[in-house]
Amino acid sequence: MLSSSSSKPPTQQLLQSADLISQGAEAAIYKAYLRQVSASGHGIDHCAALEASEPVLLKYRFHKHYRHPSLDASLTRQRIAGEARALMRCMRSGVTVPGIRMVDVNEGVLGIEWIDGKSVRQLLPGGAELEDINELEEVDENENGAADPIADYGVSRDTLMDMIGVEIAKMHLADIIHGDLTTSNMMLRKKTNDLVLIDFGLAYHSTLVEDKAVDLYVLERAFASTHPDSEPMFAGVLSAYEKRMGKHWLPIKKRLDDVRLRGRKRSMVG
């Protein structure tokens, strides 16, 4: 007699065996390990070729009971497929992003490469994310050792800002707008020390200068609200971005100035 778990689709079985990392209003994040599955017509059969021990991050867009079921299913499929397309376009253009490991639009699951490292937010002053005891212990160790956490990765703060600017420029040259550029959505990978852009859930394709300027403005505001004395750091990001963008930079710079002005006016009005 088959158990209830074995009768579930492979993706649901994978979620059951995974560890919940975090959960927001739209999706839950899990860490799982891909194992060989039998052919069943579901969306993760291609995972059979992967090593059984490979860790993956699963982004599960769970059902929203406040939406009509057919609308919910349609929106979930569109968003999973859209995020996967944005990642694929970035990879083809040389942007450092997590690799795609599985896509199951029917179950609302996107599986991507697990990035072993820390978010840029954790590595910069004022941005330590104290979400659990382990992170508190790490902060204590850093304070006792009086060491800059970035130093553990063998890069300077200026180099890190350059890396951020270059990756965003490569993404914009591919006409991908991230939609949620913050220091939480960038990771510095251990061992290789490369910068990885993550979380493309709000990403979309656009050639508009306005959209690229707004992307940069969102990141500038994230720096200002999260990291003290961030002006020199963001200036370093823009300098590297400018060099990579070349002739495309000037119209974006002009539009960024306009976006900043609109933002200040909104702040004054309240």
Q: How many whole angstroms separate alpha carbon 61 and alpha carbon 46? A: 21
- Which residue reads 């002005």 in tokens? 261
183, 223 contact by CB (below 8 A): yes
Q: Token pair of 86, please?
A: 């944005």
At 3, the pLDDT band (50, 70, 90 cuts) reads low
CB neighbours of 225 closer than 8 A, spacing ≥ 6? Answer: none
Tell me if residue 199 is catalytic.
no
243, 171 contact by CB (below 8 A): no
Name the DSSP letter for residue 243: H
15, pLDDT greater than 60: yes
- Give pLDDT tens digits for 174-230: 999 999 999 999 999 998 999 999 999 999 999 999 999 999 999 999 999 999 999
From 45, 72, 152, 180, active-site residue: 180
Pair type for strands 55-60 and 28-33:
antiparallel
CA angle 149–155–161, rounded 5-degree value? 95
The predicted model scores a pTM of 0.84
Name the DSSP letter for residue 206: -
Summarize the confidence of residues 111-125 as an average pLDDT: 95
Q: How many whole angstroms separate alpha carbon 179 and alpha carbon 200? A: 8
Ramachandran category for residue 110: left, alpha or beta (phi over 0 → left; psi -120 to 50 → alpha):
beta
Mean pLDDT of the chain: 86
Q: How many whole angstroms separate alpha carbon 134 and alpha carbon 126? A: 18
